């Protein structure tokens, strides 16, 4: 029931644009596997083999730690409404922290130079495999709306508080792997 493609077709891109959430999966050679939900408003299709998402300061930074050790990254989309479908994008992930040339270029080219105060990085995925499968086991859900809790949380913090939080939560993975981030990255 699974089909494989070397790039995203127009049909794949249309499927992605209709979703409300996607998941990223990453792992270092040792330690825990990380799977994180992401909102679609940060996701961009750059081309048939390239996508990105704008990442925010959060309670961890597992993907960055994993990418420093292994560039493998998977993004998964599930149809929670309409016809059943799962799509995975496999490839090589690239971390572009706030203040880097890559971040500035991606922000200008794909995000209208707009990012919230709690932006941490733009993650780019170079896709080498697109896989679709039936999705028959994915339940149906009604989409109600986005949560604004993370955005409100950041808006209620000073720049110094955001720096301190990032220093506390974003510099190492739960397995102790270095993420490459320090407070200077968001100054």
Query: Residue 107 pLDDT > 60, yes or no?
Result: yes
Query: Residue 34 pLDDT > 90, yes or no?
Result: yes
Domains for the chain: give ranges and CATH numbers: 3-179 (2.30.110.10)
Report the mean per-residue pLDDT for the chain: 94
10-20 residue pLDDT tens: 999 999 999 99
Q: Residue 45 in contact with residue 109, Cβ under 8 Å? A: no
d(CA 150, CA 91): 28
Identify the pLDDT of residue 185. Answer: 46
Identify the pLDDT of residue 187. Answer: 43
Q: Which of 79-83, 101-105, 177-181 has the least mean pLDDT?
A: 177-181
pTM of the predicted structure, to 2 decimals: 0.94
Identify the pLDDT of residue 183. Answer: 56
- Which DSSP string do the residues of the chain spell out, in sequence order? --EEESS--HHHHHHHHT-SEEEEEEE-SSS-EEEEEEEGGGEEEEETTEEEEEEE--S--HHHHHHHH--EEEEEEE-SSSS--EEEEEEEEEEEETTSHHHHHHHHHHSTT---TTEEEEEEEEEEEEEEE--TTSPP--------HHHHHHHTS-HHHHHHHHHHHSSB-TT--B-S--GGGG-
125-173 residue pLDDT tens: 999 999 999 999 999 999 999 999 998 999 999 988 998 998 899 999 9
Identify the pLDDT of residue 163. Answer: 87
For the segment 75-85, the average pLDDT, to the nearest whole number, is 96
Identify the pLDDT of residue 32. Answer: 96
């Amino acid at each position: 029931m699974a089909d494989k493609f070397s790039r995203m077709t127009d049909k794949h891109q249309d499927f992605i644009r209709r979703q409300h959430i996607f998941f990223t999966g990453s792992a270092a050679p040792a330690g825990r596997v990380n799977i994180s939900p992401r909102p679609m408003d940060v996701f961009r299709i750059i081309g048939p083999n390239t996508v990105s998402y704008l990442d925010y300061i959060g309670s961890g930074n597992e993907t960055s730690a994993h990418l420093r050790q292994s560039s493998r990254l998977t993004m998964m989309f599930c149809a929670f409404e309409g016809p059943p479908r799962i799509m995975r994008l496999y490839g090589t992930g690239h971390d572009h922290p706030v203040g880097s040339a890559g971040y500035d270029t991606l922000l200008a080219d794909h995000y209208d130079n707009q990012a919230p105060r709690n932006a941490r990085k733009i993650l780019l995925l170079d896709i080498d495999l697109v896989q679709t499968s039936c999705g028959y086991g994915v339940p149906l859900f009604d989409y109600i709306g986005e949560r604004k809790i993370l955005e409100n949380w950041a808006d209620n913090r000073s720049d110094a508080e955001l720096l301190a939080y990032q220093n506390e939560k974003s510099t190492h993975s739960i397995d102790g792997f270095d993420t490459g981030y320090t407070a200077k990255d968001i100054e």
